[in-house]
Amino acid sequence: MAKIIQKRTKRTQKFAYILKPFVVYMLVKTAAMLALAILIPSLPVTGIAAWVEHNAPQLSAVVNAVASMAGAAFLLKDFLIEVSTTGEIDIDQNVCRQFGSFMRHGFLGKRTTGNAVSLLLCALLGITASFALNILVELTMLRSEKYDTVAEIQYSVPIWLGILLYGIISPMVEEMVFRGVIFNRARKFFGVVKAAVFSALLFGVFHGNLLQFLYGTMMGMLMAVCYEYCGCFAAPVLVHMSANVFVFLMSGKTGTAFFVTPFWCVVFMALSVAVMAGIRKGKDVGK
């Protein structure tokens, strides 16, 4: 006799269902980071301890990325269930092949001119919004010692490695978790607005300090809205990618000090609103 599973009707059941992927991701990521932190210095290589100490910031960034991918790997099946919108994924294939099929057929959504323009605007939004928020951070003097430590690690890597870590790996992994799984699950129970807020708040908490909590929450809201407007997973990923790459490349550049004024903060916020309006218009045109 088939086992009957009751629907998740209680609020606690719904939140447990939504939060489970986040908990799994964090547990696996933390375990992977601890394992790598123990394994790497103990490798039978001459001078490994001195090398690890000398390259600690860069190594920390790489270890974090590898551990993040390990955590995301445990959520691949859940991710594919939540984001799949076409019948082109062969469920008889293994999870990795299914993911490859999704990236080829479902990642970009509809192959139309309107959708292509919307995705380009998503990339532009990542730049304008991240710049506006970073100017706001500088103006409000919210920087903390913990934030500066995180920033030192992130910006200590070479440009090519930074683009790989923060422009490709981090956006893909984090969007899989927070928009691909958590936002989509919350959306089924609570609607778009509450799901966007909830996933964004969780995304902010994930970053571990007040400054990045505020920044992550606001960017998380924008990414969820872009996902909803464009209807394809590429939208939040492109916002995330362009924001991360732009901030990484602009970090420490003396020329950016010119823009740290209320005027430019308002200008880039206004540009972000205009770009968002363009993305929404693209959604209406695509109907």
- Residue 191 — left, alpha, or beta (φ > 0 → left; ψ -120 to 50 → alpha)? left
Number of C-beta neighbours around residue 122 at 10 A: 30
Q: Say which residue, 133 or 156, is predicted with more confidence.
A: 133
Q: Say which residue, 8 or 219, is predicted with more confidence.
A: 219
Highest mean pLDDT among 8-17, 169-178, 256-265: 169-178
| The predicted structure's pLDDT at residue 1 | 46
Q: Say which residue, 239 or 46, is predicted with more confidence.
A: 239
Average pLDDT over residues 190-216: 92
pLDDT at 287 over 60: no
pLDDT band with cut points at 50, 70 and 90 for residue 208? confident
Six-digit token string for 96: 């990795």
Number of C-beta neighbours around residue 209 at 10 A: 19
3-state secondary structure of 267: helix
Domain ranges of the chain: 11-285
pLDDT at 2 over 90: no
pLDDT at 224 over 70: yes
pLDDT at 36 over 60: yes
Q: In percent, how much of the chain has pLDDT > 90?
A: 59
| Least-confidence region, from 124-128, 146-150, 229-233 | 146-150
Six-digit token string for 8: 């998740």
Cβ-contact 119, 235 below 8 angstroms: yes
3-state secondary structure of 89: coil
| The predicted structure's pLDDT at residue 205 | 94
Cα–Cα distances in Å, from 38 out to 13, 23, 32?
A: 37, 23, 10
Query: Of 147, 160, 167, nearest to 239 (Cα)?
Result: 167
Query: In whole angstroms, what is the distance from residue 221 CA to residue 198 CA?
Result: 9
| The predicted structure's pLDDT at residue 250 | 86
Q: For the chain, give the mean pLDDT.
A: 88
Query: In whole angstroms, what is the distance from residue 137 CA to residue 215 CA?
Result: 9
Cβ-contact 58, 65 below 8 angstroms: no
| Least-confidence region, from 1-15, 92-106, 152-166 | 1-15
| The predicted structure's pLDDT at residue 210 | 84
| The predicted structure's pLDDT at residue 64 | 94
